Structure 1
Amino acid sequence: MSPLGLAILAIVALSVMGLPIGVAMITGSVIYLAMSGQDMSLAAEQVLNGLNGSYVLLAVPLFIVSAGLMNAGTMTDRLLRFCNLLVGRFRGGLGHVNVVQSVIFAGMSGSAIADAAGSGKLVIDMMRRGGAYPASYAAAITAATAVIGPIIPPSIPMVLYALISDASIGYLFLGGVVPGLLMALAQMGINAWMARRHGFPIAERVPLREVPRLTWDALPALLMPVILLGGIYGGVMTPTEAAAVAAAYALAVAALLYRSLPAREAYRTILDSARATASIGMLIAGALALNYVVASENVPATVRGILAGYDLEPWQFLLAVNLILLVLGCLLEGSTILLVIVPVLIPTAQALGIDMVHFGVVVVVNIMIGLVTPPYGLLLFIVAKLADCPLGAVVRDALPFIAAMIAALGLITFVPELVLWLPRLLGYQG
């Protein structure tokens, strides 16, 4: 067996045995270097150079911290009450609240898992109160709406895509705005249909006199995406600096303004964020080492040559990419797909003249849909546990939302202007 074959076999075997995928990729890379007669310290060199030389990666832990601080304080509670004020009056209103709060929260955290684990528990409890909604439906729509988080900026997956593609983070963030809103509209459409079909209740109207108070309470939280995106696109700060501002702002609002962040809770939040960052960091380290192996074997050029033999049109290639990523999303963790599989596809996309911002948004949307597709579907496991209901029931109720998201993905894929209109409006030349 070739060194590359042994490395892949080792990675698969170690992952099946339960070893973290990042460690498995590093081990497989070391095996490749040993079998091919290269210096095994090259693996460490690639990891250190990749992690220390990438300024954009600093945004990842900072966005994780900001999401944790928002969940630890009362920012999420206030946002939910404000969302209920906006859309709670319609039939299936709490389902619409679920979607709208995810859109707003998306402008703060950049993480689907943070959205589901943070605001998810609160909104599920709201929907289940008094038996208004089945637990499985509340969990399913919560998983589906959490997908919006990393599509609307800021976005941790887009930061990682920028790392491997050299695409502009700022324009990637802009490119995700319209697709994210399109996904939200698709989910609200499904919720409205389900509400009429099952006779979900209309929430009690918020008294008019409460409107100023609820709006004022939520205003500091609502200002965060305005500050972040205004700072980035106004040229005041880079996306990485914006992540630091997000963390500092969340801490200031939760601890000083709302006074809802005890020292013990702040410590626990920082600790949890450090653990999450270490987990992602190990995965990135493994991907950096493995990408050296892939580059050494000239795999991207080989894949490009194979696909060139089929004389694919750009739309055919994008369709194939969607199918591949949707299938892989059922089986693999999203960051693994992004850091290991996508770099192999990028050279072919570039050779076909596909815009890298458009391609990046399509990739990220695919990976996010993978978070709610069985059997892996990490978000499904999280919300099923939060709602304390069987996973099978959650999957059943999530299927209409998954279908709507795939339809939205088709539009995003084959109508590039949905992605590129806003970046071009603000100066993108691609």
Structure 2
Amino acid sequence: MMLDPFTLSLVAICVLALLGLPIGHAMIASSILYLWMAGLDMGTAAEQILNGLYSGYLLLAVPMFILAAEIMNAGTMTERLLHFCNAVVGRFRGGLAQVNVLQSLIFAGMSGSAIADAAGTGRMMQKLMTKDDKYPASYAAALTAATAVIGPIIPPSIPLVIYALVSDASIGFLFIAGIVPGFLLAVGLMGVVAIDARRKNFPVEEPVPLRKLPGLTFRALPALMLPVVLLVGIRGGVMTPTEAAGVAAGYALLISVVIYRSVTLSQFYSALLNSGRTTASIGMLLAGAMVFNYVVTVENIPNALSAMLTATDLTPTQFLILVNILLLLLGCVLEGTTILLVIVPVLIPTAQALGIDMVHFGVMAVLNIMLGLITPPYGLLLFIMTRIAEVPLRDIVRDVMPFLFVMFGALAIVTFVPDAVLLLPRLLGYQG
């Protein structure tokens, strides 16, 4: 039996991905196959996609946030933040583990990427926690992977930027809406660490004298002010989100070179190269997703799915439960950006038809997808920490489960208590 063009394109994506072709390339190849079999003009399709990109200035925010994170990793900004975190919570039992959580909460406001957090400060925390066998390597790796998930929730957030692109939701209000869920994650993880510290008798670090706290705070203050500058600038109408991303990169460079004097010319060049490589990989994925989304639109999949789900008389709560299950399952096997660019746009029309707020839906979807980074069996962050910590994957999976449990609790609050997400945006004028 002859397969229709759309089904054949789906089969092609799966086959090419299983053969090892990057998912972005697989989507481009399968989309070209669809256009050829359906007899559609490829030139017209390319023209429509490019016309959409000409007004998609929001995409420029992604490489700028990546560059900002690379510059901060190259300098001493992260070390100053770690010293500040250690002065605040390092004095408690299991204090170094608490520092791991707190630094992710603070550094989240700089990078906007879970991968950047794990590869940057996460690598540093892994070395600190396992030095002199203070903590088991698998526990340190599991905690580092879990805390890195906070990064894409607290503003600025690259996944929220991508969601804003596909949903037309306000990126400013999305950023603000991520603050409370990010703190929920941090509080939950700190609670688990506190319990483990008592149960496993984790060490107590030498307390930093309180008289030194003002000095450490002052030295870390320029780095701590970055998220404040971005949020005030965006909500105050001083800058667009894209301009804010450029300001973040410029601010990071200014602080690292002029104030901290910790980035050399060669380090800056390396930061540019690394951010270019990361941006290129994300750009190829974006290109593939946009071409495939054109195919999905031609097939009228979003409207057909919306009509089908609406006909089943699903309540908003039932729909959100189904979406959570779907995204969690997909998050175990697919990269998060792919889900945001291909799957989430298909779900948005149904969410709108059911009266679900787009800012609430976006934060819930991004949190759900980020949890997929540490959910077995695939969990990209788990694999990254396996390489960094040089411990078996099964040991990290065992130690990450308590953290994953409380993070699912935070996801439940975000899903079923929309006011927890929308409280801050409404206080600042959001009408949703």
Counterpart of 1:232 in structure 2 is 234
Deviation at 1:320, TM superposition (A): 0.5
- Tell me the amino acid that sits aligned with residue 48 of structure 1: L
Structure 1, residues 37-68: CA drift from partner, whole Å, max 9, x if none?
A: 11122443344234332011110000000000
Structure 1, residues 370-402: CA drift from partner, whole Å, max 9, x if none?
A: 111122211111122112211111111011111
- Correspondence 1:174-253 to 2 at 5 A: 174-253=176-255
Q: Secondary structure at the match of 1:354?
A: coil
Distance in 1 between residues matched to 2:100 and 2:256, nearest whole Å = 22
Distance in 2 between residues matched to 1:56 and 1:429, nearest whole Å = 22
Counterpart of 1:259 in structure 2 is 261
Distance in 2 between residues matched to 1:392 and 1:34, nearest whole Å = 45
Q: Secondary structure at the match of 1:108?
A: helix
Q: Secondary structure at the match of 1:283?
A: helix
Structure 1, residues 118-177: CA drift from partner, whole Å, max 9, x if none?
A: 101111111112211101111111110110001011110011101111101001111111
- Tell me the amino acid that sits aligned with residue 167 of structure 1: A
Q: Which moved more, 1:137-146 or 1:378-387?
A: 378-387
Q: Which moved more, 1:397-406 or 1:230-239?
A: 230-239
Conserved in 2, the CA contact under 8 Å of 1:362 and 1:412?
Answer: yes
Structure 1, residues 198-253: CA drift from partner, whole Å, max 9, x if none?
A: 11111110023422332222111111112111211222111111110110011111
Counterpart of 2:328 in structure 1 is 326
Counterpart of 2:132 in structure 1 is 130
- Tell me the amino acid that sits aligned with residue 119 of structure 1: T
Distance in 1 between residues matched to 2:270 and 2:20, nearest whole Å = 27
- Correspondence 1:279-428 to 2 at 5 A: 279-428=281-430
Distance in 2 between residues matched to 1:55 and 1:335, nearest whole Å = 18
- Correspondence 1:13-92 to 2 at 5 A: 13-92=15-94
Distance in 2 between residues matched to 1:46 and 1:376, nearest whole Å = 35
Q: Secondary structure at the match of 2:111?
A: coil
User: In 2 relative to 1, CA 29–46 (structure 1 residues): closer, same or farther, beyond 3 Å?
Assistant: farther
* Gaps in structure 1 of 5+ consecutive residues: none
Distance in 2 between residues matched to 1:101 and 1:42, nearest whole Å = 48
- Tell me the amino acid that sits aligned with residue 195 of structure 1: A
Distance in 2 between residues matched to 1:237 and 1:332, nearest whole Å = 34
Distance in 2 between residues matched to 1:96 and 1:176, nearest whole Å = 21
Q: What TM-score, normalized to structure 2?
A: 0.98
Structure 1, residues 334-356: CA drift from partner, whole Å, max 9, x if none?
A: 00111001111000000000000
Distance in 1 between residues matched to 2:290 and 2:245, nearest whole Å = 23
The one of 143, 146, 160 equivalent to 1:144 is 146
Distance in 1 between residues matched to 2:48 and 2:340, nearest whole Å = 18
The one of 119, 122, 140 equivalent to 1:120 is 122
Distance in 2 between residues matched to 1:34 and 1:45, nearest whole Å = 16
Distance in 1 between residues matched to 2:43 and 2:325, nearest whole Å = 37
Distance in 2 between residues matched to 1:244 and 1:355, nearest whole Å = 29
Distance in 2 between residues matched to 1:249 and 1:61, nearest whole Å = 15
Distance in 2 between residues matched to 1:252 and 1:383, nearest whole Å = 31
Distance in 2 between residues matched to 1:261 and 1:269, nearest whole Å = 10
Q: Secondary structure at the match of 2:110?
A: coil
Deviation at 1:17, TM superposition (A): 1.0
Q: CA RMSD in A?
A: 1.1
Conserved in 2, the CA contact under 8 Å of 1:159 and 1:169?
Answer: yes
Distance in 1 between residues matched to 2:40 and 2:290, nearest whole Å = 17
Conserved in 2, the CA contact under 8 Å of 1:26 and 1:43?
Answer: no
Conserved in 2, the CA contact under 8 Å of 1:46 and 1:288?
Answer: no
Distance in 2 between residues matched to 1:37 and 1:320, nearest whole Å = 35
Conserved in 2, the CA contact under 8 Å of 1:51 and 1:285?
Answer: no
Q: Secondary structure at the match of 2:82?
A: helix
Structure 1, residues 277-328: CA drift from partner, whole Å, max 9, x if none?
A: 1111111111111111111111112211221232110000000100010011
Deviation at 1:76, TM superposition (A): 0.5
Conserved in 2, the CA contact under 8 Å of 1:47 and 1:285?
Answer: no
Number of equivalences: 430
Q: Secondary structure at the match of 2:161?
A: helix
Distance in 2 between residues matched to 1:47 and 1:60, nearest whole Å = 19
Conserved in 1, the CA contact under 8 Å of 2:9 and 2:31?
Answer: yes
Distance in 2 between residues matched to 1:194 and 1:43, nearest whole Å = 55
Counterpart of 1:104 in structure 2 is 106
User: In 2 relative to 1, CA 99–46 (structure 1 residues): closer, same or farther, beyond 3 Å?
Assistant: farther
Distance in 1 between residues matched to 2:183 and 2:240, nearest whole Å = 24
Distance in 1 between residues matched to 2:348 and 2:405, nearest whole Å = 27
- Tell me the amino acid that sits aligned with residue 299 of structure 2: E
Q: Secondary structure at the match of 1:399?
A: helix
